[in-house]
Amino acid sequence: MFNYFIASKLTESGGGVAILSKPKILAFGIVCNVSLLGYFKYSDFFIENFNLLTGSDTGFVYLTLPLAISFFTFQQIAYLVDSYKGEAKGYGFLDYSLFVTFFPQLIAGPIVHHKEMMPQFSIAENKKISHRNISLGIFIFSIGLFKKVVIADSFAVWANYGFDSTDALSFFEAWATSLSYTFQLYFDFSGYTDMAIGLAILFNIQLPINFNSPYKSFNIQDFWRRWHVTLSRFLRDYIYIPLGGNKKGSGNTYLNLMATFIIGGIWHGAGWNFLFWGGLHGAAISLHRLWQVQGIRLWGWFSWFLTFNFVNVAWVFFRAESWDGAMRVLAGMFHFGNIELSSFVESLSGNINGQDYLFAYILLAFLFVLFLKNTMEISGGLVRNIGTLCFNVFVFVLSVYFMSMGGYTQFLYFNF
């Protein structure tokens, strides 16, 4: 209600005596949204660092994070900015409420732009049952559910063991840990996005694509064009470009890139590890841009290898509960003196700390993400026949079976 009221003031045309100018109204709206997010999400983080700097003993507030606040905050800030620009006129309160609270994508995105969703509400055909959309929606939802409960949660067992254990990790254990989380996060978040898109299609609503095979990227810029696409778009359009983008010289361009990715990092969670993760990606993007300016080009597969391993290493800071935890995993990954070939052979032939055929799973995951079509590519050419039906039923039933066995965890982005 607050944001709709602010947006209505921003779209008003002339007439009357305005107490505040539109730029001030926009600034007020953005500050209120960011302050609310900051209060709920970062209060204890600020208190912890205040205590560390001053030696005080201020108590934590332990606030419960309102469901989806990170996502609906960005979505509504974008709406306010577009209202200020005159690009979001004529929407009623009911349409706006549906836009903000549409349940399939509310919890963890995609971060939807009003132009992508709200015009669909007034299309007469979208208010009729579509059997084609029902079958397509269930198909996409089922693939997403399979990604989450069968693939991602299988990797979660090893990732959690490796990151949460206090023991030193060997070379192969550390790489198994990092790669397990790299694939857990991929299949967990892309699975959620598929499920959100599939559910929305059941209501004849098309949500934007949020994943486009990001682990196929040959450079870090391409990675961010494919990973969490709607977040990357928001950071570009509402932070990077307003900061000046690349219009004020190379020095400011690199500063703007760093600032944008640091903001993106801290948006994910209240911790220095998230800020550092964002800084790593900001530095990588800046370096990539510098290479482009200098005309440096890397050989294709080496470029992919470099990009994937940078992303994999950076995820360690994203996942670790503490700096020490991240250093423990990284120490194992890059301690070449503790490579034990016997443990690797043993893991291939049977198990590694109870995880049967873990490296076979990792190899299979590589094949999945590098050589198979993604969900949107598959669904784009979907043929509705008995074969598709049988595949859909098998995937869905197998996923429900895994859930019934208790082998699932909450979505990772639920924490953010």
Q: What residues act catalytically?
A: 268
Judged by DSSP in three states, 355 sits in strand
Q: Name which of 103, 106, 182, 193 is nearest 147 in CA terms.
A: 193
d(CA 218, CA 41): 34
d(CA 394, CA 142): 9
Cis status, amide bond into 119, omega within 30 of 0: no
d(CA 52, CA 363): 44
Q: Where are the alpha helices (DSSP H) in 350-385?
A: 358-371, 375-380
Instruction: Give Cα 109 distance to the centre of its chain.
Output: 8
Q: Name which of 301, 300, 317, 310 is nearest 220 in CA terms.
A: 310
For residue 394, the tally of other CB atoms under 10 A from its CB is 12
For residue 309, the tally of other CB atoms under 10 A from its CB is 13
